[in-house]
Structure 1
């Protein structure tokens, strides 16, 4: 915006200057009577409007086409972290004997000359010099930025300034209020419709499980949901009562002797997951999202969060019945750390690029696999 305003201003000044020269020549040669004043004024007004409009249109197009090459950027290295900025003018402050010396008008003048006509100025300096550089930027009327390596470590996405304090914003949640409302409406519509449509199947499966060994129909296990809060997940019980694994330390395998006859069928067809539709209606889960894992789940011999601390980022959204990792075939036992790494990468990709259209695509892909 700063560069666009500068281009507009320079164009207006140039046009007015040219008009002033024409008027001067006209008066000097006594030829102004040959021109219509109304035409001259209308022509000047129309020229100003068209010139400003064209500059406003062309500048963003040039910037979009050329990227950072269309922006004058100055990088001042004042002994801070090494930094590379494409298409930037680089200055070593020590070689040029530059410093944010607020007590030296001559130094301030030199700094002002270096920053003249720059759209963006960055400085990399030790922490004790940042306050001085900040004052230099504010006094020089430039867009100034101070490189802070801690900002990248924290994953800062913005800043907030209040009357009594300033704070770095490191998280805002992956979805806004409108997106959450749309996602929730889709969840309720699909889960409610599925429960009604599948009610006969749910009743038959529940009856078969009960008749096989007389044990409970549902397996309820503690899982970690949105905001790292525990919730009870519902599944049709597929294992023998005496061999249930509440902690989830041991993932089920294809020939697991803990699985019942009915359990083998419902696990193979994913029917055992259908009671999670009630978790969706209760607001604990979503149709699409990162799959919730048992607290004691292992990748190799390590707990999931011990393999990669970014695992906790999955919980910024509600867990789902299906997800991006599942439609990519990343399911089953996590025998190695790589098994978890691939799933985590897919989950983080889903979080960073959520759209309602991606949810619908995942639902369609899941349905096609099941059918």
Structure 2
């Protein structure tokens, strides 16, 4: 028993509900359009054979575009505080009373707004209900402040001084919270706010999780997969069963999934290990639902993730989300990317002119590559090959003295000037300045697809791809011609992902140009 972790048994008394009308096992080819948000018709208009499920949002948005609800709750709260402070300052200037007369109610209202949980924006709460709570919270906050101030100042004076402030504060907060609520509803309809999950295991625990999620609206359960598909129903609580665990690995819904939750009974230890082992190649975060008494200790990481509807989870694989680091990295991308674009524009204009004069065909070359969470993105480059032999799928990687490369192409490839248009990919959020280099989908190393050569290949997609990276400054640039080249590239990319920090990014950016200028051996 030394390899087991004992957990308390949980029984919330929920009864299983009968499954709704069966769904057909066919997905529309356009359901998961690569690299773009996908508009969906209203749920009530969906035909019976459409396997959308009751929690699928109106639009599916890639995980890289997911918004952090807590960060925006803090932002909304901060703007409310600024409004109350502005009202206090204005009233103080106009009324001339003591500053404390206005500071006290401002602080009290901020406290009551938080106590009424008005920054949670529950998906099941309508606008009128939210505004009614806002009104009550403001009234109670002002009332508490009046009672406190009346202990030190005449009540008539307090009421007269706070009258204008209260009206301004109330009207402003009422309008702001209506705006916040409408904004949150828009983000939810776009699929950008509520996390998307899929469940592995069509079990009673999965039914319980789906039921809790439908009540709370905390997550969207897009589908269920089961390693024992023959025994699984067509749907759980209306959520379709989309295939087995093997189908999950390559399913086109995965770039839109924030987390995979394993709901296999943890008492079946060998089955748990097998399922988790089969899911480890995924770049998505994988968590284990902890509901049974015994959990294989060697199957989980020591870090628990945030529970969903009070159901405990343990992270099995994937990177924990660091909001602060993500904000700093995106800020660096925008600031340095914008400066780089301004500096590079004259060079880009000259390169474009040279390509136009050198050979017929378009100036830019676009290629579908794999981005964050295996999302397909369209990457921009200056065209360096003859247009009639362009290889969008990288079936044949560039070799030394490749006859497909043009005269201008050799120059811009050797100096990486062909990569400059990817600044636009960085500014749009599809790429980052620093990260694993994006590879073409289906890229071949010899006669074998590169992704099949390393089990952890998709782990390099646990963050956005970059214009430069740890591998690039360590000599792993250009084509990967052998299995050893692929393994080294993946090892360096995973090393960067595990070590990533703002200082490491700045170091890589600073070292990129010297490494490019000093590297005359790499074939590009």
Q: For the superposition of Structure 1 and Structure 2, which TM-score range results when normalised by the shorter chain?
A: 0.5 to 0.7
Q: Which residue of 2 aligns with 1:208?
A: 354
Aligned residue number for residue 151 of structure 1 = 299
Tell me: CA distance 1:317–1:161, structure 2 relative to 1, closer, same or farther (3 Å). closer
Indicate whether 1:367 and 2:513 are aligned.
Answer: yes
Match of 1:237 among 383, 389, 398: 383
Instruction: Tell me, yes or no, if structure 1 residue 315 matches structure 2 residue 315.
Output: no
Alignment gaps of 5+ in structure 1? 1-75, 82-125, 130-144
Q: State the Cα distance separating 1:254 from its structure 2 match.
A: 1.8
1:174–1:351 contact (8 Å) kept in structure 2: no
Cα deviation, residue 300, structure 1? 3.4
Is 1:326 equivalent to 2:472 in the alignment?
Answer: yes
The aligned residue for residue 418 of structure 2 is 272
Higher helix content, 1 or 2: 1
Per the alignment, residue 12 of structure 1 pairs with: none
Which structure would you say has the larger RCO, counting Cα contacts within 8 Å and 6 or more residues apart?
2
RMSD: 2.5
Aligned match of 1:343:
489
SS in 2 for 1:294: coil
Q: Does 1:180 align with 2:346?
A: no
Cα distance in 1 between the residues matched to 2:383 and 2:294: 57
The TM-score, its normalising length taken from structure 2, stands at 0.42
Residue 296 of structure 1 and its aligned partner are, at CA, apart by: 1.8
Secondary structure of residue in 2 paired with 1:245? coil
Assess if the C-alpha contact under 8 Å between 1:174 and 1:317 holds in 2.
no
Q: Deviations over 1:3-36 (max 9, x none)?
A: xxxxxxxxxxxxxxxxxxxxxxxxxxxxxxxxxx
Asked whether the 8 Å contact 1:174–1:352 carries over to 2, the reply is no
Distance in 2 (CA, whole Å) between partners of 1:174 and 1:158 is 10
User: In the alignment, what sits opposite 2:314?
Assistant: 168
Q: Are 1:194 and 2:351 counterparts?
A: no
Q: 1:163 to 1:209 in 2, by over 3 A?
A: closer
Tell me whether 1:355 sits opposite 2:501 in the alignment.
Answer: yes
Q: Once the 2 structures are TM-superposed, how far is the Cα of residue 189 of structure 1 from its aligned partner? A: 1.2
CA–CA separation in structure 2 for the residues paired with 1:245 and 1:356: 35
Tell me, which stretches of 5 or more residues in structure 2 are unaligned?
A: 5-265, 270-292, 518-524
Larger-Rg structure: 1
- Normalised to the residue count of structure 1, the TM-score between the two structures is 0.58
Deviations 1:81-114 (A, max 9, x none): 9xxxxxxxxxxxxxxxxxxxxxxxxxxxxxxxxx
Q: In the TM superposition, what is the alpha-carbon distance from 1:146 to its structure 2 partner? A: 6.9
Measure how far apart 1:164 and its partner are.
Answer: 6.6
Query: Deviations for 1:176-222, whole angstroms, at most 9, x for unmatched residues?
Result: 11111100111111111111111111101101111122310000000
C-alpha distance in 2 between matches for 1:250 and 1:196: 34
Kindly tell me the number of residue pairs found equivalent between the two proteins: 233
CA contact (8 A) 1:248 1:297 kept: yes
Cα shift at 1:171: 4.7
Q: Distance in 2 between matches of 1:228 and 1:303?
A: 15
Q: Is the 8 A contact 1:160 1:169 kept in 2?
A: no
